[in-house]
Amino acid sequence: MTLTRPAPVTAPGGPSASGTAPPRTAARAYAELPPPVGAALRALRLDALLGDPDDADNPLGRAALADRAHTDALPVPEDLRAEFVPSAAGGHFSTPEQLARALRPLFRRDLALSQAWGVRPLLVADDGTGCAPARAGELAALLGPAALIAVTGTVLRDAVRVVDARGRHEPAVRQWHGTLAEGFADLLACESLLAVALRSLELPDAGTPALAAAVGYVVPQIVGDVRSALDLVLHETGSGPGSPRARALGKIADDLPHAAVDWFASTVGQAKLVRARSGPAGVEPYEDGAWAGTLFRLGEPVAQDLPADGYHYALTATLPAAAARLADASGPAHVALARAARRLTTEHRTLLLPLRRAAHADPADASVRALADRKALLLLAAAVLGVREAAADVPGAYIGTPDWALLALARVTERLGVPLPTGLTDPRDGVWAVLAHRVRHHVDVDVYATRLLW
């Protein structure tokens, strides 16, 4: 598999060897799927404000943030408050997706600090003055999972450094390459669904309860699996319970209830999924993929003419539509991705009628909750396929390649208990190669492939 090597890390807008880079080029140096240059600059400023996470004397470093009382006492910086104020009111807020990207350095640092500085302000900001984003409560509910994904990605990068360094001299350590590759694919899948849900908030009349509920349910579940795998890898590679990496992993678990991304929030999301409509009976809306560009093209503006419930229905229809478009795929990875997509499409069709019947059932019923679980996983798979397909035309964007998507779909299939099609290529070696390359070159493990300051 050909790896896309990122450009050297430079501040967007900074001078290049040949002079001042154009804004789009400068932003491209910040991420494979770049935000506006202003958003990239603000994210870098936030990262610089947070300082070196490994500096023992840094009040915002990992050691200091291990004390929850210390974290709760830290006031929200005034510069950060402007991120939550709409641009029309003199702030920086433009879209929910861009807010999540601007706050990503904070989310990477610590889950409790993310709640204090990045989520709690939204819960109290909507006072009717016009100085808060629209649908602030729904946005806050999505930023909790965004922080969980990001901070887990930090521990994933730490584990990759350990395995990559030791594996060069100890061949036995390389057995963990596949496990870490699976964790990477899981996090990319979760962030794909999250990004789609964030983009849906740009439409004031769109019905998004199912998307938000799917994020609230499936992200804590899958990220919990990733953390369990990381715990095993760290233990088996010499990072015992007292090590900084193991303590960082343990702190995430301790912070979950305070960040509202624990099992209780997951259960609430599952109940909402039971009640959410699955679309008109006998109809597969947007089967031709007409809305795919605006729905899945991360970082770009969202079309404002989608009908109510357009996002949910379009996402639901992505599985069969994407599988159909992959029918003529060439190359082993694309062929394997097409076969995995068709297998999940079959599962999707078998669930349509039971889901409609369960829409008015008791959410406490175990069989109904099992349906909600499967629905959430299929929405996750649809987001993976949609995001990958939309990014396939972006030069150098890893998220547009098939390997990670194939691995993510294989993981979804395993969780559904559905047998994988036989003869699929194993993408883990290729995914590991990209993951290790990112970590060596200070690139985040997010869907946008963001360059890191620290």
- Written as tens digits, the pLDDT of the chain (454 aa) is 333 333 333 333 333 334 455 565 666 789 999 999 999 999 999 999 999 999 999 999 999 998 877 787 888 898 899 999 998 888 999 999 999 999 999 999 999 999 999 998 888 765 556 577 888 889 999 999 999 999 999 999 999 999 999 999 999 999 999 999 999 999 999 999 999 999 988 876 555 678 888 999 999 999 999 999 999 999 999 998 888 899 999 999 999 988 888 878 888 888 788 776 554 444 444 444 455 567 899 998 887 666 555 566 677 788 888 888 898 888 899 999 999 999 999 999 998 888 778 777 777 788 888 988 999 999 999 999 999 999 999 999 999 999 999 999 999 999 999 999 888 899 999 999 999 999 999 999 999 999 999 9
Residue 280 has a pLDDT of 45
What's the pLDDT tens digit per position in 112-166? 999 999 998 888 765 556 577 888 889 999 999 999 999 999 999 999 999 999 9
Return the SS3 of 423: coil
Q: pTM, whole model, 2 decimals?
A: 0.91
260-298 burial, b at 16+ Cβ within 10 Å, e below that, comes to bbbeebbebbbbbbbbbebbeeeebbbeebebbebbbbb
What is residue 452's DSSP assignment? P
Residue 408 has a pLDDT of 98
The residue assigned the tokens 């915002």 is 60
H or E stretch at 15: strand 15-16
Q: How far apart are CA 368 and CA 371, in angstroms?
A: 5
Backbone angles phi, psi at 412, to 5 degrees: -60, -45
Q: How far apart are CA 270 and CA 375, in angstroms?
A: 10
Return the SS3 of 123: helix
Residues in Cβ contact with 69 at an 8 Å cutoff, skipping those fewer than 6 apart: none
CA-CA distances (angstroms) from residue 394 to 175, 281, 391, 447? Answer: 33, 36, 5, 13
* DSSP per-residue string spanning 323-350: HHHTTT--SHHHHHHHHHHHHHHHHHHH
Q: How far apart are CA 241 and CA 312, in angstroms?
A: 42
What is residue 279's DSSP assignment? -
Residue 358 has a pLDDT of 76
Residue 224 has a pLDDT of 95
Residue 27 has a pLDDT of 67
* DSSP per-residue string spanning 179-232: HHHHHHHHHHHHHHHHHHHHHHTTSTT---HHHHHHHHHHHHHHHHHHHHHHHH
Residue 402 has a pLDDT of 97
